[in-house]
Amino acid sequence: MQRDIFTPEHDAFRDMVRTFIAREVTPYHGQWEQDGIVSREVWLAAGRAGLLGIEIDEKYGGGGNPDYRYYLILNEELAAAGATGPAFAVHNDINGHYFGRLCTPEQRERWLPGYCSGEIITAIAMTEPGAGSDLQGITTTAVRDGGHYILNGSKTFISNGQLCDLVIVVARTDPGAGHQGISLLVAERGMPGFGRGRNLDKIGMHAQDTSELFFTDVAVPVANLLGTEGGGFIALMQNLPRERVSIGATALAGAEKVFADTLAYCQQRQAFGRPIGRFQHNRFVLAEMATELAVARAFTDRAVMELGAGRLSNEEASMVKWWNTELCNRVVDRCVQLHGGYGYMREFAVAKAFADSRVQTIFGGTTEIMKEIIGRGLGV
C-alpha cells in the first residue's frame, strides 16, 4: 500500500534503520530471548546511529528533529523484524517527550547527553501492584524533607526495569490533593533504597526486561523533580495520546508483516494438489485481513499526521490504540490457523508474534479503558 505521509528523507532513514536492525539486532535477538534481556551494547549502537533522542537538541547529542514520523519508522521496522527486545520506544516516544518538555537547563546538561548516546537507559514507573490504568489510584508517596523527597512504594510491569539508569516515578507528593497531588520524580541507579525485583517471566517478549521496582525511603533530590510539583498527572495526560498512537502504529506494522508472511506461505504451501490460498475459505480469510489492514492503515497514517500537527484528540488516539492492537491479535490468530501445525512451532515467526502481540491490548491502557475514553468523548 502506497503511503504518502513520508518524504524521500524519511525513506532514506528507513533504509538506514533496516540496515541497523539487520546488523545490530537480528543476529543477537535469539540470544537475548534466552537471556531475558538485551545487551547494553545495542543501546550504545543505537546512540551512535542517531536513533535515540531524535527530537532532542543537537547540543546534547540528539537529532534536533521534532518530526514524530522518524520515531514511527523506527518502531515499524523493529516490529517488522519481530525485534521486541530493545525497548527504544519507551526511551524515545514516552520518556523523551517528558525529558524534552519538562527538564530544567541543569537537568538537560546532566541527563540528556547520556540519554542520546545510549549510556543512560530510561524507564517510566506508573503501574503498581494495585493500580494499573487508574493513575489516580497510585499509592507510591514522595514526602518533601528539606532538599529531598523521601520516596516509598513499589511499581510493577516496568519495561527496561533491569537496564534502566534513570526511571521517571509517578508518586503522590500531596495525598490530599487528588490528581493535583501527583508528581514526577527521577530516581537514579544506585540511590540507597532503590531496588529491583525479578525480571518478570512473561508469555512473550522474552528479550525485553520487565521488572518490579521497589523504593524504600529513597532520598530523591528536589533537583530531580521533573516539571512542577503537583503537575505530574497533567503531564501524563498530555503525553498519553502519543504513547497510544505509538503502540497502535507498532501493532499495525507487526500485523502487516505477519499477514505478508502468511500470504506468501499460502501461495506456496500445497494441499490436495494446489496452494492452500486457492481454497475459497482461505482466500476469503486473506481478503478480510487485507481489507481490515488497509482501513486501519489509512486511519493510522491520518492520526500520525494529526499528532504531528498537534491536532489529535485523546479520543482519536484511543481509537488507534484500541482498534490496531485488537486487529493485530485477530490477524495473528488467523495467520497461525492458516499455517496449520507449523503456526504452533516457535521457530516460525507467526508463533512468536502470537505470544509477543497479546500484551498490546493491555499495556498503555487496556482496550476497555480506551473504549471508556472514547465513550466519554461522545458525551455518554
* Same-domain check for residues 219 and 256: no
Q: Judge whether 2 lies within some domain.
A: no
Q: What is the mean pLDDT of residues 8-34?
A: 98
CA distance 78 to 181: 37
Average pLDDT value for residue range 94-113: 96
Q: Which of 120, 146, 177 is the last residue of a domain?
A: 120
**Which CATH number belongs to the domain containing residue 264 in this structure?**
1.20.140.10
Q: How far apart are CA 197 and CA 154, in angstroms?
A: 10
Q: What is the pLDDT of residue 107?
A: 98
Domain boundary pick from 172, 195, 229? 229
Q: Are 206 and 99 in the same domain?
A: no
**What are 109-153's pLDDT values in tens digits?**
999 999 999 999 999 999 999 887 777 789 999 999 999 999 999
pLDDT at 132: 76
Any domain includes 1: no
Interval 102-107 mean pLDDT = 97
32 lies in some domain: yes
Residues 220 and 85 in one domain: no
**Section 158-168 average pLDDT:** 98
Question: Rounded to two decimals, what is the model's pTM?
Answer: 0.95
pLDDT digit string, tens, across residues 282-335? 999 999 999 999 999 999 999 999 999 999 999 999 999 999 999 999 999 999
pLDDT confidence of residue 1: 66
Whether residues 203 and 239 share a domain: the answer is no
- Do 209 and 152 lie in a common domain? yes
Q: How far, CA to CA in Å, does 224 sit from each of 107, 184, 186?
A: 8, 9, 5
CATH code, domain with 219: 2.40.110.10
- Categorize the per-residue pLDDT at 25 as very low, low, confident or very high, splitting at 50, 70 and 90: very high
| Residues 105 and 179 occupy one common structural domain | no
Per-residue pLDDT tens digits for 241-270: 999 999 999 999 999 999 999 999 999 999
Shared domain check, 139 and 115: no
CA pair distance 353, 284, nearest whole angstrom: 22
Q: 249 and 372 in one domain?
A: yes
Q: Which of 128, 243, 256, 316 is catalytic?
A: 243
Which domain CATH number covers 42? 1.10.540.10
- Residues 222, 264 within the same domain: no
Confirm whether 62 is domain-assigned: yes
Under 8 Å between Cβ of 150 and 133: no
Q: pLDDT, tens digit, for every residue of 323-366?
A: 999 999 999 999 999 999 999 999 999 999 999 999 999 999 99
Same structural domain, 204 and 260:
no
Respond yes or no: is residue 288 known to be catalytic: no
Same domain? For 241 and 225 the reply is no
In the chain, the number of structural domains is: 3
- Position 3 in a domain: no
Instruction: Report pLDDT digits (tens) over 194-244.
Output: 999 999 999 999 999 999 999 999 999 999 999 999 999 999 999 989 999
pLDDT on residue 378: 96
Domain of residue 86 covers 8-120
Average pLDDT on 29-48 reads 98
- Residues 353, 302: contact at Cβ < 8 Å? no
Tell whether 364 is covered by a domain: yes
Last residue of a domain, one of 180, 195, 229: 229
Do 13 and 34 share a domain, yes or no? yes
C-alpha cell at 54: 531524535
Q: So what's the pLDDT on residue 179? A: 87
CB atoms near residue 140 (< 10 Å): 21
- Within-domain flag for 154: yes
